[in-house]
Amino acid sequence: MDKSILELAQEVTGIQLIMALLFIIALIVLAMTQKQKLLKYLNKWRKTKNEEEDFHALVYGLKNSMIELGKKIEENRTERENERTHDREDSRKIREEMYKVMNKQSAQIEKQSEQIEELKNITLGIQKKNSETKRAEIKEKIERIYRECHPAMTCTDMQLETLKELIDQYEKHGGDNSFVHSTVQKEMYSWHVINEIKSSDSSL
């Protein structure tokens, strides 16, 4: 089936063998004569290969750097998002605290206003009661002088002056629409006035 090497060698002719030997010799001669060129070519090929390897290493390093940079950018973005979220939360808490303080102060102001209004009403009530008491006292004095002068339609100049002052005080304390105006004030100016002050001076 398969031919042996010896049989194949027997089939090769002398010319073919010579040509093969010549080809081998030519290769050896070429290798020896072109040794420097071959070495230069090998060195250049090795240098090119090394440069390619360096280039691939550089590209690989840049790729890894870009990946790391992308991770850092993403981490920074996430951190900023968290900070903004935290800032918004802090801002919300501050606003809520401010609203609480404002509402508390508003409630305190409202309470104080109510207390002031209540105190004002109490004060007005006391003043009104005092005025009523004072007005009643003044009215009683007016009535006493009136009873002394009315029967004879005569009064002293001191009584008349006192009546004027008493009526003025009576009006300042809210006195109006009473017999003081409707009767006494109208009648007192028609009384006969005795000059008591001059009489006292004459007796001296």
Domain-embedded: residue 48: yes
In a domain, 84, yes or no: no
Instruction: Extract the runs of DSSP E, i.e. beta strands, from the chain.
Output: 154-156, 192-194
Per-residue confidence band for 94, with pLDDT thresholds at 50, 70 and 90: confident
Kindly tell me the number of DSSP H helices and DSSP E strands found in the chain.
7, 2
In a domain, 119, yes or no: no
pLDDT for 157 beyond 80:
yes
pLDDT digits (tens, 9 = 90+) for 95-147: 888 878 888 888 888 888 788 888 788 877 787 778 788 888 999 999 999 99
How many Å apart are CA 106 and CA 123, to the nearest integer? 25
- The pLDDT assigned to 119 comes to 78
Answer whether 170's CB lies under 8 Å from 138's CB.
Answer: yes
Residue whose C-alpha is closest to residue 161's, from 124, 122, 193: 193
Which residues constitute the domain of residue 30?
A: 13-74
User: Which CA distances in Å does 10 have to 19, 52, 93, 122?
Assistant: 16, 50, 105, 148
**Whether residue 91 has pLDDT greater than 90:** no
> Residue 7: inside a domain, yes or no?
no
The domain boundary, picked from 74, 95, 122, lies at 74
Domain C-terminal end among 74, 99, 120: 74
pTM over 0.85: no
Tokens of 39: 């070495």
With 50 as the cut, is the pLDDT of residue 204 above it? no
Number of structural domains (the chain) is 2
- Whether residue 10 has pLDDT greater than 60: no
Mean pLDDT of 181-195: 91
Q: Does residue 110 sit within a domain? A: no
Judge whether 144 lies within some domain. Answer: yes
